[in-house]
Amino acid sequence: MKAAVLRAPRDLRIEQSDPPVLAPDSVRVRVSIAGLCGTDYRIWSGDRPVRYPRIMGHEFVGVVEAVGAAVTTVRPGDRVAVEPNYSCGVCPLCREGNRNLCLARVAVGIDVDGCFAQSASVPARCCRPVPAGASDEQLLLTEPLAVVVRAVSRGTPRPGERAAVLGVGTLGLLALQVLRVRGARVLALGRTTKRFDLARELGAEATHRIGDGDLGAVGRAFSGREGVDLVVETAGTAEAVAHALELVRPGGRVVLTGLPHEPTSVSFFGVVRREVTILGSMIYQDEFPEAMRLLAAGQVRTQALVTHRFALDALDAAFAAHRDPASIKVAVVP
Ligand SMILES: [Zn+2]
Ligand SMILES: [Zn+2]
């Protein structure tokens, strides 16, 4: 099979190799379409070191090509979305359902080889058969949407509540749609105005450019009270945490789903005085089915989010496109 192999940071080579021998519980998936995200970029650039050589990529839809001897849940020919994280299944965290928090969790495309290849091998339990009628491209964003479904659920929005979404990248544009499905009214905030038309088209009631005025006042104006009920942070920057705390009302909730890699200073004085609930949200537990259902039903729209498509041979160009301010989601079609 053909694969894009990262030999060292920024040293990506298209290589031909035999697919690995299938473990009894594993499945080989022919990759139909894959998504590239910030995590892949960080690995490619060397910001996030991995063991080399590594085949990156963790967002994908494909067709089961072969199954290991012990696999009973999927068969060759099944179309699947792949949940690219698997846990040990036996530790206390896994047994209580917190498998996203398992300390032995394995991330496909990071800890083991992923989907920037013609095929990828994953444990059968990672394969989620997809609903009939939903196209591969529609389902491409299942993985990031599952992240967002969990983040929004952690924030327990109630119909009619006012919510703010920080960031208008892929996660932000998905989060505002999930919040709308749950009945919340949404203010979208970003550093530039260029995706605000799209955010409104996808259901944001208002937009605000960060940097234009005091965010506390913006939250109060949008909510008609002391601030918004809920903030979903998707920007993943240190300052976004502070922005979330400015927007939220006393007694409100802040869900952090972006991963700020730099140290963040937070004024906990306000967190205590205003009884703000801050919740972390880490990938997903059982949110894949709901994510696929939302996509298949058209309740979450992603067509406008997939801005670029590249063949596997052009993966370097795909990484360059990821950094292009005009891009939202870059797809790779092996
Ligand atoms: Zn990703
Ligand atoms: Zn575990």
248 and 152 within one domain: yes
CB–CB of 83/109 below 8 Å? no
- In whole angstroms, what is the distance from residue 322 CA to residue 241 CA? 24
**pTM for the complete prediction?**
0.96
237 and 165 within one domain: yes
Q: How many angstroms does the Cα of residue 97 sit away from the middle of ligand 2?
A: 9
Task: From residue 237, give the alpha-carbon distance in Å to each of 96, 146, 243.
Answer: 31, 21, 10
Q: How many angstroms does the Cα of residue 249 sit away from the middle of ligand 1?
A: 31
130 and 152 within one domain: no
Closest ligand to the CA of 103: 2
- In whole angstroms, what is the distance from residue 275 CA to residue 282 CA? 23
Return the structure tokens found at 116.
């920037």
Half-sphere exposure of 212 (CA within 13 A, CB side): 10
- In whole angstroms, what is the distance from residue 301 CA to residue 247 CA? 27
pLDDT over 90 (residue 177): yes
CATH of the domain at 62: 3.90.180.10
The predicted pLDDT at position 263 comes to 84
CB–CB of 232/255 below 8 Å? yes
Residue 284 one-letter amino acid? Y
Q: Which residues surround ligand 1, an ion (CB under 5 A)?
A: 37, 39
pLDDT tens column, 51-66: 999 999 999 999 999 9
190 and 114 within one domain: no
Name the nearest CA neighbour of 288 among 91, 101, 82, 89: 82
pLDDT tens column, 264-281: 888 899 999 999 999 999
The predicted pLDDT at position 266 comes to 87
What total of structural domains would you count in the chain?
Answer: 2
Over its C-alpha atoms, the chain yields an Rg (Å, rounded) of 20
Structural domain of residue 224, as residue ranges? 145-280
pLDDT over 90 (residue 19): no
- In whole angstroms, what is the distance from residue 5 CA to residue 322 CA? 18
